[in-house]
């Protein structure tokens, strides 16, 4: 009876987990059960199966005679690798070709696996049958970052393989500049000959690539070519250009010699796309491949062992085109890795040619138009170009400048661009914003008196508006010179003072341009600004001032609501943005979305009543909205439309006027590189946060007290993180990046003053902190350690969503 119950329990567990729960007694059968789990790094399942088994973790299987530790190192399954090492797996066991797990980890660039193998005494000096050591594998593939870690464990950096080649030989053969430098720094001999008498220096001189120089030369030549094409004379009657030697060349044929290059570029991209698709298809069913290979092995079919290429084939290893024969278990993955290596080596070069192709196409088009041929080219090779960017995001900033000039193409890559570091995007932004302008550090032209903005302190807003509207925009982009009437001072200090005073004047209630939001720290365009007859001209001026400030990297002392930053960026607002001007109404909209309104009898229609100069008028949210009832099915549309009415339609003229001025200095294509939080940082800088004041004015609820370990860990983390991350935390919980005047004691909530509050939440693994911005509450799980708390908090700050939520 007990045996039957045990079998039933075992069956139940197996069905629930969709796998066996016990290993077969036979090592040969058991290893093929474990292998797919090891390759997928399913360490918990592997641990459970090994715990109740007598399986030999050093069992070598297949024609290659590798252990599971080889498989884990080859695939980068670090958790399973550590588990096997703890179970007694031999880190120095050599397969039939003499390769150890460390060799395979080095060959495939598995940094974490290498580190763990070294911890468990893996021998870095072991050679395989061809004399190759781990540093040979790192050198041949140019894995410099791993070589730095490994070379300190190597007894002889000039260890030779069977052909007398050192790691420096193969690094020079493959043109890996940084790897060569690392080996030289570690004492490698650049004049050591191999069996043929060739030294690393010989390979460096004869084989090492100069692709960077070639790319720069190509782009420089194409730029000059395009410039000459644009300024070259043409006959208005027949469209023929006259050369200096008197020969006649049809203008349409000028770029014809480059067609062969563009054709080769297209062929390369098609070839890479084919390889990507092939490898994607090969990786879809690895389990069936493994079972098939196991069957072949059992039937006696010959499976070739792993045979590293000879010294003469090192180049092929680097490019992924050689005859390196992967073992039967890892072949598909190695093929994919080879394809990725091809991408790594060719992406930058091909991207430079793409940039040259764009320049040639665009110079033949009218200003402001993108060549249809180039758009078709990008659309055709969309997947490959995205693969290039994913492998090396700097390609966007180095070569894909065409994205800024074509919204259709930009939309394809925007998610990748916005995933790049804020600093890199800022550099790209200013590089293109100032392209074509003289370098202010190199050109010191005297200030023309006619270019000085002469303003009056006692009427700084109006006088500044008048002089800026009359000034030459191109000259203002290059530099600003300001002088206050009756004062002699000029220079950057005066310019900074001018921007600081103007930023305060823009939100001066006397001009009725902006109103203060509910949080008391941010401003929103005033829907009733028309009480000032010149309000739209003033909004245009406000846009010019913020555009000029951004252009010249001058910070302004003004903060806007999140929704207004969205308007500047062209990002649609949502109902969460309503909280900045009407928190209670935002709660009501949230309630409608969160609850079933079918039987409540609200009798809402797609219209709202609005006070227009004292008279109540019904405003339809869409045509015929007054006769369309809001139902459970269409309530989301109602919330979005009423949000657009409150946040956009009511102030559309003001927004348009502001953007007209702003875009005189900041192109829309450039500003869209940022989100609304980043735009605030660009315009107003990083606010300072007093952590001691924060702690002093924080309340605790739902079980937390100030002395609790979790709370102490939290504040220690807040003090440890960067100023930028503290701002993210403040935004995450309160919806604002700033502390109001008077400090944290004056933070506003949905119903008035509301202290920053931390509420306890029961801990479950991987649970992230959440927030309720309407009441400034951080819902912090009861994490078991400071490390877990910090990790989960930073994930929430960097990857979580911002916005208004219900408590």
Q: What is the pLDDT of residue 329?
A: 35
User: β-pairing, 770-772 with 482-484?
Assistant: unpaired
The CATH code of the domain that includes 473 is 3.90.1750.10
What is the DSSP-derived secondary structure letter of residue 453?
E
**Of 124, 127, 167, nearest to 149 (Cα)?**
124
pLDDT of 786 strictly over 70: yes
**Of 387, 293, 295, nearest to 332 (Cα)?**
293
Summarised one tens digit per residue, pLDDT across range 609-626 is 776 555 677 888 889 888
Residue 415 and residue 464 in one domain: no
Contact status, residue 677 vs residue 558, Cβ threshold 8 Å: no
Give CA separation, 77 vs 38, 49, 671, in Å: 7, 17, 42
The CATH code of the domain that includes 616 is 3.30.2160.10
Residue 82 and residue 188 in one domain: yes
- Residue 487: which domain range? 449-572+663-682
Cite the DSSP H helix spans in 232-330. 259-282, 286-298, 314-319
Candidates 75, 182, 465, 774; catalytic one: 774
The CATH code of the domain that includes 776 is 3.30.2410.10
pLDDT of 237 strictly over 70: no
Q: How far apart are CA 751 and CA 708, in angstroms?
A: 29
Summarised one tens digit per residue, pLDDT across range 469-480 is 988 888 898 888
Residue 283 and residue 356 in one domain: yes
**Of 540, 571, 552, 530, nearest to 659 (Cα)?**
540
Summarised one tens digit per residue, pLDDT across range 530-541 is 888 889 999 999
- 228 occurs within a structural domain: no
pLDDT of 314 strictly over 80: no
- 641 occurs within a structural domain: yes
User: What proportion of the chain, given as a percentage, has pLDDT over 70?
Assistant: 80
Contact status, residue 580 vs residue 802, Cβ threshold 8 Å: no
Summarised one tens digit per residue, pLDDT across range 509-524 is 888 899 888 767 788 8
**Longest CA–CA separation in the chain, Å:** 106
Q: How far apart are CA 206 and CA 522, in angstroms?
A: 64
User: What proportion of the chain, given as a percentage, has pLDDT over 90?
Assistant: 33
- 223 occurs within a structural domain: no
Q: What is the pLDDT of residue 713?
A: 95
Q: What is the pLDDT of residue 327?
A: 40
DSSP per position, 535-596: HHHHHHHHHHHHHHHHHTT---S--B-HHHHHHHHTPPP-GGGGGGT-HHHHHHHHHHHHS-
Residue 343 and residue 455 in one domain: no
- 414 occurs within a structural domain: yes
Q: What is the pLDDT of residue 195?
A: 93
Residues 358-365: contacts with CB under 8 Å, at least 24 apart: 358/401, 358/402, 359/219, 359/222, 359/223, 359/226, 360/222, 360/225, 360/226, 360/255, 360/258, 362/402, 362/405, 363/226, 363/229, 363/230, 364/229, 364/255
- 804 occurs within a structural domain: no
**Of 130, 140, 120, nearest to 95 (Cα)?**
130
Summarised one tens digit per residue, pLDDT across range 729-778 is 987 887 666 676 567 887 776 556 788 999 999 999 889 999 887 688 99
Q: How far apart are CA 170 and CA 130, in angstroms?
A: 14
Q: How far apart are CA 704 and CA 711, in angstroms?
A: 7
Residue 55 and residue 198 in one domain: yes
- 444 occurs within a structural domain: no
Residue 483 and residue 580 in one domain: no
Dihedral pair phi/psi, residue 213, rounded to 5°: -65, -40
**Mean pLDDT lowest among 19-23, 256-260, 370-374:** 19-23
Tokens of 173: 């053969």
The last residue of one of the domains, among 420, 440, 464, is: 420
Percent of residues in the chain assigned helix, strand, coil, to nearest 5 = 55, 5, 35
- 655 occurs within a structural domain: no
Residue 398 and residue 377 in one domain: yes
Strand ranges (E), 39-198: none
- 15 occurs within a structural domain: yes
What is the DSSP-derived secondary structure letter of residue 205?
H
The CATH code of the domain that includes 15 is 1.25.40.20
Q: What is the pLDDT of residue 710?
A: 94
Q: What is the dihedral of CA 105, 108, 112, 114, to 10 degrees?
A: 30
Burial class (CB in 10 A: 0-12, 13-18, 19+), 616: exposed
The number of distinct structural domains making up the chain is 5
Q: How far apart are CA 531 and CA 459, in angstroms?
A: 20
* Summary mean pLDDT of the chain: 81
pLDDT band at 488 (very low <50, low <70, confident <90, very high): confident
CA 674 to chain centre: 12
pLDDT of 322 strictly over 80: no
Active-site residue 774, yes or no?
A: yes
Mean pLDDT of the region 299-328: 36
Sign of the four-CA dihedral 418, 424, 427, 432:
negative
Q: What is the pLDDT of residue 446?
A: 59
User: β-pairing, 607-612 with 615-620?
Assistant: antiparallel
Residue 41 and residue 117 in one domain: yes
Residue 632 and residue 560 in one domain: no
Residue 611 and residue 490 in one domain: no
Residue 612 and residue 556 in one domain: no
Residue 599 and residue 667 in one domain: no
Summarised one tens digit per residue, pLDDT across range 436-458 is 665 544 344 556 777 788 989 88
């Amino acid at each position: 009876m007990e045996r039957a119950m045990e079998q039933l329990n075992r069956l139940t567990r197996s069905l629930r987990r969709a796998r066996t729960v016990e290993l077969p007694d036979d090592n040969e059968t058991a290893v093929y059960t474990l292998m797919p789990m090891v390759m997928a790094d399913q360490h918990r399942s592997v641990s459970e199966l090994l715990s109740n088994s007598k399986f030999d973790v050093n069992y070598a299987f297949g024609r290659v005679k590798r252990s599971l530790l080889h498989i884990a190192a080859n695939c980068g399954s670090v958790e399973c690798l550590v588990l096997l090492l703890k179970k007694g797996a031999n880190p120095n066991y050599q397969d039939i070709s003499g390769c150890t797990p460390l060799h395979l980890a080095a060959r495939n660039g598995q940094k974490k696996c290498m580190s763990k193998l070294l911890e468990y005494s893996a021998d870095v000096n072991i050679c395989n049958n061809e004399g190759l050591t781990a540093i040979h594998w790192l050198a041949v593939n140019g894995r410099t970052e791993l070589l730095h870690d490994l070379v300190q464990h190597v007894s002889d950096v000039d260890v030779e393989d069977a052909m007398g080649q050192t790691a420096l030989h193969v690094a020079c053969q493959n043109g890996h500049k940084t790897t060569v430098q690392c080996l030289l720094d570690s004492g490698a001999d650049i004049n050591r000959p191999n069996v043929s008498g060739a030294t690393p220096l010989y390979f460096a001189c004869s084989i090492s690539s100069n692709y960077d120089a070639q790319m720069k030369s190509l782009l420089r030549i194409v730029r000059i070519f395009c410039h000459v094409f644009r300024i070259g004379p043409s006959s208005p009657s027949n469209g023929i250009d006259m050369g200096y030697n008197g020969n006649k060349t049809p203008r349409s044929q000028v770029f014809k010699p480059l067609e062969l290059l563009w054709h080769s570029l297209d062929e390369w991209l098609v070839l890479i796309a084919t390889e990507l698709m092939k490898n994607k298809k090969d990786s879809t069913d690895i389990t069936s491949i493994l079972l098939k290979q196991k069957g072949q092995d059992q039937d006696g079919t010959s499976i070739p062992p792993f045979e590293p290429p000879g010294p003469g084939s090192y180049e092929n290893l680097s490019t992924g085109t050689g005859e390196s024969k992967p073992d039967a278990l890892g072949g598909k993955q190695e093929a994919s890795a080879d394809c990725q290596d091809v991408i790594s080596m060719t992406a930058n070069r091909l991207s430079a040619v793409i940039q040259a192709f764009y320049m040639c196409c665009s110079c033949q088009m009218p200003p402001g138009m993108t060549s249809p041929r180039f758009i078709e080219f990008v659309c055709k090779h969309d997947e490959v170009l995205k693969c290039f960017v994913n492998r090396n995001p700097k390609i966007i900033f180095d070569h894909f400048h065409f994205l800024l000039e074509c919204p259709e193409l930009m939309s394809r890559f925007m998610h990748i661009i916005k995933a790049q570091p804020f600093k890199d995007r800022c550099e790209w932004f200013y590089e293109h914003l100032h392209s074509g302008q003289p370098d202010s550090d190199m050109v010191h032209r005297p200030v023309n008196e006619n270019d000085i903005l002469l303003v009056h302190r006692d009427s700084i807003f109006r006088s500044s508006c008048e002089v800026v509207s009359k000034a030459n925009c191109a000259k203002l982009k290059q530099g600003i010179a300001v002088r206050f009437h009756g004062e002699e001072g000029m220079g950057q200090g005066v310019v900074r003072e001018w921007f600081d005073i103007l930023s305060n004047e823009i939100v001066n209630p006397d001009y009725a341009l902006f109103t203060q939001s509910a949080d008391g720290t941010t401003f929103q365009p005033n829907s009733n600004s028309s009480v000032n007859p010149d309000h739209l001209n003033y909004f245009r001026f406000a846009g010019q001032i913020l555009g000029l400030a951004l252009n010249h990297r001058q910070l302004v002392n003004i903060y806007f609501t999140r929704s207004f930053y969205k308007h500047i960026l062209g990002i649609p607002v949502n109902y969460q943005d309503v909280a900045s001007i009407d928190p209670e109404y935002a709660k009501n909209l949230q309630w409608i979305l969160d609850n079933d309104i079918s039987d409540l009898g609200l009798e809402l229609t797609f219209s709202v009543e609005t006070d227009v100069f004292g008279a109540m008028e019904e405003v339809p949210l869409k045509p015929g909205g007054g006769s369309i009832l809001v139902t459970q099915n269409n309530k989301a549309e109602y919330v979005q439309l009423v949000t657009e009415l409150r946040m956009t339609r009511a102030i559309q003229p003001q927004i348009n006027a502001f953007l007209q001025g702003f875009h005189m200095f900041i192109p829309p294509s450039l500003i869209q590189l940022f989100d609304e939080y980043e735009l605030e940082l660009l315009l107003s800088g990083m606010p300072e946060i007093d952590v001691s004041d924060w702690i002093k004015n924080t309340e605790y609820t739902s079980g937390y007290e100030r002395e609790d370990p979790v709370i102490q860990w939290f504040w220690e983390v807040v003090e440890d993180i960067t100023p930028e991350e503290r701002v993210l935390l403040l935004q995450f919980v309160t919806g604002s990046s700033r502390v109001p005047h008077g400090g944290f004691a004056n933070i506003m909530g949905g119903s008035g003053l509301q202290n920053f509050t931390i509420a306890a939440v029961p801990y479950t693994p991987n649970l992230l902190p959440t927030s309720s911005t309407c009441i400034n509450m951080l819902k912090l799980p009861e994490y078991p350690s400071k490390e877990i708390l910090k990790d989960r908090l930073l994930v929430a700050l960097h990857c979580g969503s911002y916005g208004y939520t219900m408590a």
